[in-house]
Amino acid sequence: MRKLSILAVLMVLSTSASTAVNNPDFINQQKLKTNMSSKAQIAKGIRLSLSQSTLELEKDSDEIEYASNKEDLITNAQFSIGYTDIKIGEVGFMGEFSYLQIDTDSDEADVSNTRFSGNATYGMNENVYFFGGLNISKYNVDSSGTTAEEQEIVNYDAGVGYQLGVGAQVNKNLSLEVAYISLRSTRSSLYEFDTNDEDNNTYSSGSLDVEEDLLTRGLQVSLVGTF
């Protein structure tokens, strides 16, 4: 008798569950939850981007009097790789490593900038999102310009900057971004020189240590693919 009662209860529960699952309202609710879940995510995955920048470099030093301490940088395309998780109505994350090649007037110098960026993101809707955060950037210069009488030893150190921007999601895998970026770093130069006075037949050597703060800022437009 007890077994028959248990079996009857199980049959009732099974029938109720089957009725609920096949109920049109239940099915519509499940579809709505699925659609809401898929729409809550703007983009998530590996991020690859190609960017073009308009940047100005400003130098500041207590040891140097500049004729002009600002110059426009001639930049090539910037390549970046990272990870992104952008959500609608919630704070997400975007992080990437970037490499930027810079043209110079000298054929003897190869100049580039490398940068790690971390951003918080916020999606307004399916198509528009905002981002902002901090970066660590460093200039890399390979120069062969030395002379026998004067030698310059140069070191570039990384600094902390920031970026703020807005993105437009074109489709599931493609978006366009516009950002204002500010990069900070330092340059320290040690000049070692020899002086030979032939009239007095004297020889001497010396050195001069100079440090400069480098501030690079401007606009950047990026084409981003997320996979």
- 121 token code pair: 């993101």
Residue 218 has pLDDT above 90, yes or no: yes
**215 shares a domain with 104:** yes
**9 shares a domain with 51:** no
Whole-number Å distance between alpha carbons of 154 and 5 = 88
Dump pLDDT digits (tens) for 59-81: 998 878 888 889 999 999 999 99
**23 shares a domain with 92:** no
Spatial contact of 79 and 86, defined as CB atoms under 8 Å apart:
no
Residue range 175-179: mean pLDDT, rounded = 98
**65 shares a domain with 13:** no
0.85 exceeded by the pTM? Answer: no
Q: What was the pLDDT predicted at 139? A: 94
- 150 token code pair: 């004067």
Is 71 within the bounds of a domain?
Answer: yes
SS (H, E, C) the chain: CHHHHHHHHHHHHHHHHHHHHHCHHHHHHHHHHHHHHHHCEEEEEEEEEEEEEEEEEEEECCCCCCCCCEEEEEEEEEEEEEEEEEEECCEEEEEEEEEEEEECCCCCEEEEEEEEEEEEEEECCCCEEEEEEEEEEEEEEEECCCCCCEEEEEEEEEEEEEEEEEEEECCCCEEEEEEEEEEEEEEEEEEEEEEEECCCCEEEEEEEEEEEEEEEEEEEEEEEEEC
**190 shares a domain with 82:** yes
**49 shares a domain with 22:** no
Tell me the pLDDT band of 45, cut-offs 50, 70 and 90.
very high
Domain carrying residue 18? 2-32
Lowest-confidence pick of 21-30, 124-133, 216-225: 21-30
**109 shares a domain with 28:** no
* Amino acid symbol at 39: K
Please state the domain count of the chain.
2
Tell me the pLDDT band of 149, cut-offs 50, 70 and 90.
very low
Q: What was the pLDDT predicted at 141? A: 86
Spatial contact of 165 and 39, defined as CB atoms under 8 Å apart:
no
Candidate ranges 38-47, 59-68, 165-174; pick with highest mean pLDDT: 165-174
**198 shares a domain with 122:** yes
Tell me the pLDDT band of 17, cut-offs 50, 70 and 90.
very low
**153 shares a domain with 70:** yes
Q: What was the pLDDT predicted at 10? A: 42
Dump pLDDT digits (tens) for 82-119: 999 999 999 999 999 999 999 876 655 789 999 999 99
Cα distance from N-terminal residue to C-terminal residue, the chain? 60
Q: What was the pLDDT predicted at 103? A: 86
* Amino acid symbol at 4: L
Spatial contact of 179 and 158, defined as CB atoms under 8 Å apart:
no
Q: What was the pLDDT predicted at 189? A: 81
Q: What was the pLDDT predicted at 66? A: 82
CB atoms closer than 10 angstroms to residue 177? 20
**17 shares a domain with 105:** no
Q: What was the pLDDT predicted at 37? A: 46
For the domain that residue 220 is a member of, what is the CATH number?
Answer: 2.40.160
